Structure 1
Amino acid sequence: MHNHGLGAWMAKRRLKSPDKIALIHGDGDTVTYRELADGTDRVSSILSSRGIRKGDRVAFLGENSPEFLQVLFGAAQLGAVFVPVNTRLAPPEVAHVLTDSGARVVVHDPALTERIGPARDGIAHAIATGEGTDEAPGLSRLLREASGGHSDAEVTLDDPAAILYTSGTTGKAKGAVLSHQNLTWVALNCLVDYDVVSTDVALMISPLFHAASLGMGALPILLKGATIVLEKGFDPGRALELIERHGVTMLSGVPTTYQLLADHPNWAATDLSTLKKLTCGGSAVPTRILNAYEERGLSFSQGYGMTETSPGATSLSPAMTREKQGSVGLPHFFTDVRITDEKGAMVPRGTVGQIEIAGPNVFPGYLNLPEATADAFSPDGWFRSGDMGYLDPDGYLFVSDRLKDMIISGGENIYPAEIENLINDIDGVTGVAVIGIPDEQWGEVPWAVLTVGDAASVTTETVREQLTGAIARYKIPKRVVVVDELPRTASGKVRKADLRARFSGSAS
């Protein structure tokens, strides 16, 4: 084969395990590896007939589905670059992703057509999933009519495979370019550190457009030839039913996911005996949730990472959950982590500094942003995470603070600058700081702390009305607080740590 990247995976799986079930979706529909590979070939043919070649960008805007994976692998066969789009983004945010990436094709759920609106003129081909119409046939119809045959473009592991957009600290999302090497090695890290085997059945309830669900969820399972139970969304009652019905062995999520499962009325009565591997990211698992799962004989692998590391950087094994509680674990098998001071020098164990990461899973850079890319790496090539932490005497990583003030709410990354820029446009607002406030269900939620002019009246409703439709709903502050003055440093920067300390105790 000439294709040494993801584009070869399905053809090889078709040879090795053609009749093995790759996907279970909907009301129990199944897709074998032969069928998934055949569908991938047909998607490749559809894209090729529309002029898509190596390096072109192919976007997908939709929920979890077999089509998502077929488009991913079909694009990879041609050496095209896959651009998954977060379905929770507002139209201006979707337009930025499509325009900035230079997507020539977007495959989308027909219910999300309006999200594409602002960027439609710049896209050569928009293909809706489903049947479509005679004038605009949908992907399902096109797949039936497409010719088969495996495309085998010249692709190296260093070539770009996907562009995933991560919220920008300056208000605009940045496209993190992930290579075939990045996605292959993060999958291998998961095979080693999470003991993925071909008999595993993984319930996928998190959206595949997230780096964690894609890089550490779907790809390791498909590489190993195991089975994914693919859900469009998360409903705790249905998830419990699917675990029992399909004998699910693996489940990934964020603390909120596991809390909602444990709080569901069917929790105690559900047979969880097949469930062996639970992975959790986004934030530390609270003790209350650990206790609830340990009572059922279950424990967690926890971890730390970001889109730029494809995304896994560290993992904490279930055996160390209690002994190293609060830690995010050791570096993944093929990944290294170090702590540096403000001058870039390594610091002793136990000393807080910036977390830096190296390994074949670390991305090469941001799309069309050479300065941001240069700033993201140390002179000797380590990725500067922007997070602060320390390594204990045994080499376990503890994250102590977020240098970039990022908020993680229900597993979604939120960067305050993006929200602050929009709130500053509201008449009467003279200053704003968006901070993360602890929340029992979501881990954190954004609050906006404002100063306003003497005659101004700005409320939570005012802010929410301004932001609705401009940014995703999960980014909209849950509460707005007006203060007389924002605490600032001598240089004029808002001291957000002071605000978090002041308001965290008043959250309800």
Structure 2
Amino acid sequence: MTQDHGLGFWLDKRRRKTPDKPAIVFDDDRTMTYRAFADAADRVAAVLADRGIGAGDAVAYLGENSPEFLQVLFGCAQRGAVFVPVNTRLAPPEIAHVLADSGAKALVYDAEFAERVADGVEAARVAHVFLTGGGAPGVPGLAHHMRDVSPHPADAGVGLDDPAAIIYTSGTTGKAKGAVLSHGNLTWCAMNCIVDYDVVSSDVALMISPLFHVASLGMGALPVILKGATLVLEKGFEAGRALALVERHRVTMLSGVPTTYQLMADHPDWASTDVSSLQKLTCGGSAVPLRILNAFEERGLSFSQGYGMTETSPGATALSPAMSREKQGSVGLPHFFTDVRIAGENGERVPAGTVGEIEISGPNVFLGYHGLPEATAAAFTADGWFRSGDLGYLDDDGYLFIADRLKDMIISGGENIYPAEVESLIAEIGGISGVAVIGVPDERWGEVPWAVVTLRDDAEVTTASVRAHLDGVLARYKLPKNVVVVEELPRTASGKVRKPDLRARFGRRG
């Protein structure tokens, strides 16, 4: 039997080392041990094997946080199949693109998404479709199929360089691109988190962010599982419920975006909830506002902040709580097994304090974009460093500061929105002669998308009409919260819209 060095062997090791340790807590107080977790993943692998799904085959998953999400991930890993988590907020055409582009041979999904996946399953000719849990009337669920198989030893011989997952990231030119993450990428990202966030086996981590996000998966669930700690899975986020779970399960670790922490601090139960068990708070997506830092520090809590992207599995840097004040505004130092450098316009290294493109190297950097060799080649320098597309600088101590996003990406409530994707669809609306989508500050979501448009003679559009045109085509978080009509869009000499001018005009520096 070929030695397996991928994620697929993790649970068998945990079953031997800590069989009775709680691995997952779900549905309030139901608990799954590492033995039961490993046994379930074995059965998923057997279900896939019985259907001829093996090395390199894509298996998509569309569902909320649940034990099955992780069972399917690790079942795929045993077979050498590639796990494709799908954002539950995507519209039907976006889901169809993910299924077709990844070449998914199987799809596992929650019944509530049946209507949204129907067209995509047919168009992509997905061979095997499973409902999660017990299924629906007349349609056996994945759990039924798992009971009908006999697990057998995995013999896939998966290596660290083999693909483990394809995670779709919104593209700068429209269609989402699939970032291919290897078993090694996810393993080394987990190791970075264990080292830099001091994950220990006694930790209890509350997962309030969806696992289809690479941050929740790569920096939340996987380090906890690798270390043999306990995950508390929540299907969605509600601030009061999250606070109650922290108190009930003596949660030690919590990951989120600024919006989630703000909603918790603003909740009526904040002051009365026992949060003394919390030791490790991590926050990504954007900087933590000073008001939120203060609110948590008043309760004796502080944050680790960081920077990364799907292509880096996703962590690139981390700012320790001890430096959150001294290095306020920084996203920290490179993770332990990751390096960061700043490149000038011609690719040259630049001195500390000089703004340039952030480039990243390390075993957590992805393999490339699925089926897009030209985009993959363009994403790397000649010496193999990943070009982030973001601008920043390193200070004299090596701490990274983000200066701007070359791609004009908007981060709203932790979700990435690429303006080009939205702009291309708005441009199809009759009467619109020009469009630019920008991020505008929002107290709850950090920032939200606005569309600034110019119109042809006598044309009229409203925010409602633009949103109606996009609804059902794009995920709702991508829809503009406001549409502003202007006489002329500011442009450079070459005709490119000057988005910094629009952001300055409508409330955002930049």
- The offset of 1:130, in angstroms, is 2.2
Deviation per residue, 1:304-339 (Å, 9 max, x gap): 000000000000000000000000000000000000
* Matching of residues 346-495 of structure 1 within 5 Å: 346-495=349-498
1:454, 1:179 → 2: CA distance?
A: 53
3-state secondary structure, aligned to 2:116: helix
Deviation per residue, 1:274-297 (Å, 9 max, x gap): 000000000000000000000000
3-state secondary structure, aligned to 2:90: coil
Which residue number corresponds to residue 51 of structure 1? 52
- Give % identity: 72
1:68, 1:130 → 2: CA distance?
A: 11
- The offset of 1:364, in angstroms, is 1.5
Which residue number corresponds to residue 75 of structure 1? 76
Deviation per residue, 1:338-365 (Å, 9 max, x gap): 0001100010000000000000000011
3-state secondary structure, aligned to 1:492: coil
1:222, 1:375 → 2: CA distance?
A: 34
Q: Would you say how many aligned residue pairs link Structure 1 and Structure 2?
A: 506
* Matching of residues 245-256 of structure 1 within 5 Å: 245-256=248-259
Q: Is the 8 A contact 1:202 1:228 kept in 2?
A: yes
Letter in 1 for 2:120: A
Which residue number corresponds to residue 85 of structure 1? 86
- The offset of 1:16, in angstroms, is 0.6
Q: Is the 8 A contact 1:11 1:150 kept in 2?
A: no
1:46, 1:374 → 2: CA distance?
A: 37
- The offset of 1:505, in angstroms, is 6.6
Which residue number corresponds to residue 180 of structure 1? 183
Q: Is the 8 A contact 2:439 2:508 kept in 1?
A: no
2:259, 2:95 → 1: CA distance?
A: 26
1:46, 1:241 → 2: CA distance?
A: 37
- The offset of 1:135, in angstroms, is 5.0
Residue ranges of structure 2 left out of the alignment (5+ in a row) = none
Which residue number corresponds to residue 216 of structure 2? 213
* Matching of residues 8-87 of structure 1 within 5 Å: 8-87=9-88
**RMSD, matched Cα:** 1.0
3-state secondary structure, aligned to 2:119: helix
2:37, 2:203 → 1: CA distance?
A: 18
Distance 1:129 1:295, change over 3 A: same
Deviation per residue, 1:345-391 (Å, 9 max, x gap): 01000000000000000001100101111110011100000000000
* Matching of residues 294-333 of structure 1 within 5 Å: 294-333=297-336
Q: Is the 8 A contact 1:164 1:175 kept in 2?
A: yes
Residue ranges of structure 1 left out of the alignment (5+ in a row) = none
Which residue number corresponds to residue 189 of structure 1? 192
3-state secondary structure, aligned to 2:317: strand
Which residue number corresponds to residue 341 of structure 1? 344
State the TM-score, normalizing by the size of structure 2: 0.98
- The offset of 1:133, in angstroms, is 5.3
1:223, 1:149 → 2: CA distance?
A: 23
State the TM-score, normalizing by the size of structure 1: 0.98
- The offset of 1:253, in angstroms, is 0.2
2:89, 2:365 → 1: CA distance?
A: 26
Q: Is the 8 A contact 2:111 2:136 kept in 1?
A: no
Question: In the alignment, does 2:123 pair up with 1:123?
Answer: no
- The offset of 1:145, in angstroms, is 2.3
Question: In the alignment, does 2:138 pair up with 1:151?
Answer: no
Letter in 1 for 2:491: R
- The offset of 1:154, in angstroms, is 1.3
Deviation per residue, 1:15-51 (Å, 9 max, x gap): 0100000000002100000000000000001111111
3-state secondary structure, aligned to 2:506: helix
